[in-house]
Structures are given as structure tokens and as C-alpha cells.
Amino acid sequence: MRIILIGYGVVGQNLTRIFINRRAELFNNYGFRPRVIAVVDRGGAAVNPKGLDLERLLLSKREKGTVAADSKFGKPGASAIEMIESLEAEAVVEASPTNIKDGEPALSYIKAAFRTGKHVVTSNKGPLALAMPVLTELAEHNRVYFRFSGSVGAGTPFLEFAKRCLFGDRIIFIRGILNGTTNFILTEMVERGVSFEQALKKAQDLGYAEADPSMDIDGFDAACKLVILANWVMGKKVTLKDVSIQGIRNITRNDIESAEKEGFTVKLIGSIGDKLEVKPTKISKEEPLAVGGTFNAVTFVSEFAGEQTLIGRGAGGVETASAILRDLLDIKQKLAARVWPE
């Protein structure tokens, strides 16, 4: 599979590391031979239609800060759109940073990929939160697959679990912790007695928080994930503006300690029922959702199978890269089986 990789931050680099380390296994077990023909970062691109040397890419990124510095295959200043439009490839992996103001530039990359008949895998929440109904329709119109497992729960397969494991059932309610940073902050405040600011600083140092931490603490990141779940799993046609959002900025140690004394814990909970809502909520410590640290947890309530809760790490570069790999394998298998429409 020829792949154009847009964005070469921690997720993109981890994906190429997985490709390097699992080369034989991916081929032997899945018949999957990823050929990364272009990588684009802020400095430009590296391009080789025969397939780039991934070790060399990682080295160039580490030592020179950009893949475009490669002496043989680098193209300083080359743009992602140019690469998507001019190169022949089966898939575009879009892993550029999230922007929830207008979804750009990722939104344009995804549309360009669809337009040129390329399947898309993204972990980017911005375009999905703002335009998911349109994007899924566009993908269908262009007869390409559109996958985004890593956008919710990083490596934890919340989307696939709900879509595949509860196949045939009807999910009527979803409730969960969808943001690792805020869960980490709330947990640190309880367990270590630290202030909100200290806990946030630690989450940033550990690399869980978004570049703009307001995304996490003001609830936007969780709201984006709620929108993705609502569209993909429950068939709702909603976007970010349909979510009522309240973050954890005003939660004090006092709030948390008094909840703890009564056997409760405060979590940033997102829920999808008649309406979509993100807000700090007191839940019983006995609930399956009462997980600490950076864990995410989502309870799916379905008509026949009842209630299930899936818990897993919801943030991290290698975790998100593993979700992108799952999506690529899924597309590969669908193409091999000629499954269309889905």
C-alpha cells in the first residue's frame, strides 16, 4: 500500500517505527506491505515513489528537525496539498495537529485526498468534530474509506468496539471519560494533594496535554470525541456546536475532597443521550467509570446486550499510531475482499 504521511510529530514517527520493527510480521500475518512514498512536515517533504527509507527519515527528523533536509529525497517547502494531488498512492495518513476553530489545514488535506481517490486515516479530531457528517458523505461519494480510530481513546478501540462488537444491537446511551489529561489532573489532585496548576504542568511535561491545554481543561477535546462517537456509533448528524461543554477549570481541591468523603469522585464526563454534554460530574467510586490517571473509560448502553465499559489508555504517540495501523489494516482487508459499500 502506497502511503502519504502528513504530519511527522510523535504519532507519525511512532507509526514509521512500527512499520520498521514489525515489517515481517505485518507481511506474514496480514499481507500488508506499507510503502511510505511521501512524508510532509513543517519544513517540507521527503518523497520517493518507490518507498522512502524510514530509518533515514527518522534520522533526518531527529538531527535536522525536518524530513525535507534529506539530501536525496528532501523537498524543502513542498506542501501537503501538492503531494496529495500530484502523487499516486492508495492512502493518506493525516496526523497533523488538531485545530478546532476551522479544522484547517487538515480539513483541506482530507478533502484533497478524497477528491483524488485516496483512502484516508486520521487521528485528527478537528475536522471530524466540525464536519464529520459532510466528510463521511464525501468519502462515500468518492468511494474511498475514511477511518479515524485514533481520534478517540488513542489505542483503545472504543469506536471499533461499539461498531463491530455490538453489531446488530442498538446503542442507546454513551457515557464516559474521554480526556486523559483532565483525568490525570483530577487524579493527581486527589492522590497527591497537588494544585490544579501543578497537576496540569505535570500532564504537559509528560506529553498528554494538547499544545493548547485549554482544549483539555475546558472540555473541548472530550467534546470532539463525543461528536465522533455520536456520528460513527449512533448515527447522529452532529458537530461540536451541538455539545454543551463545561470543563474542569473551576474545580477546586475542596470540591474533590468533599466528594471523596461521601464515596464519590469528580470526573469530566461526556454523555450522549437525547443531548450531548461534557461536564464535571460526581460519580460513585464503585462505578466502572471511576478510573484514575490518564485512563479513558466509556460505558456503552445497548438495547440487547446491556451495559459494557471499555477502559484503556486514552493518550500517547505509540498508542495512537497503533490505531492508525489498525485502520490501515482494516482498509487493506476491505480492499482485498472488495467490500463496498461498507
Interface ranges with ligand HSE (CB under 6 A): 154, 179-181, 208-210, 216, 221, 314-315
Cα 120 to the center of its chain, rounded Å: 13
Of 9 and 116, CB closest to ligand HSE: 9
Residue 310 identity (one-letter amino acid): L
Of 112 and 224, CB closest to ligand HSE: 224
Question: Shortest Cβ distance from residue 296 to ligand HSE (Å)?
Answer: 7
Q: Does the active-site annotation cover 275?
A: no
Of 38 and 154, CB closest to ligand HSE: 154
Running DSSP on this structure, what letter comes out for residue 163? I
Q: Please name which of 130, 249, 239 lies closest in space to residue 181, comparing C-alpha atoms.
A: 249
Q: Please name which of 96, 148, 158 lies closest in space to residue 121, comparing C-alpha atoms.
A: 148
Of 44 and 314, CB closest to ligand HSE: 314
Residue 339 identity (one-letter amino acid): V
Cell of 157: 478501540
Of 75 and 175, CB closest to ligand HSE: 175
Q: Are 248 and 182 in contact (CB under 8 A)?
A: yes
Question: Shortest Cβ distance from residue 181 to ligand HSE (Å)?
Answer: 3
- What is the C-alpha end-to-end distance of the chain, expressed in Å? 20
Q: Are 276 and 243 in contact (CB under 8 A)?
A: yes
Question: Shortest Cβ distance from residue 235 to ligand HSE (Å)?
Answer: 23
**Active-site hit among 225, 275, 285, 332:** 225
Question: Shortest Cβ distance from residue 213 to ligand HSE (Å)?
Answer: 8
* Dist CA 155 CA 312 (whole Å): 8
Question: Shortest Cβ distance from residue 315 to ligand HSE (Å)?
Answer: 4
Question: Shortest Cβ distance from residue 192 to ligand HSE (Å)?
Answer: 18
Cell of 207: 506529553
Of 13 and 302, CB closest to ligand HSE: 13
For residue 268, what are the CA distances in angstroms to 210, 283, 310? 16, 10, 16
Cell of 114: 478524497
**Spatial CB neighbours of 241, under 8 Å, sequence gap ≥ 6:** none
Q: Please name which of 134, 131, 139 lies closest in space to residue 112, comparing C-alpha atoms.
A: 139
**Residues belonging to the active site:** 225
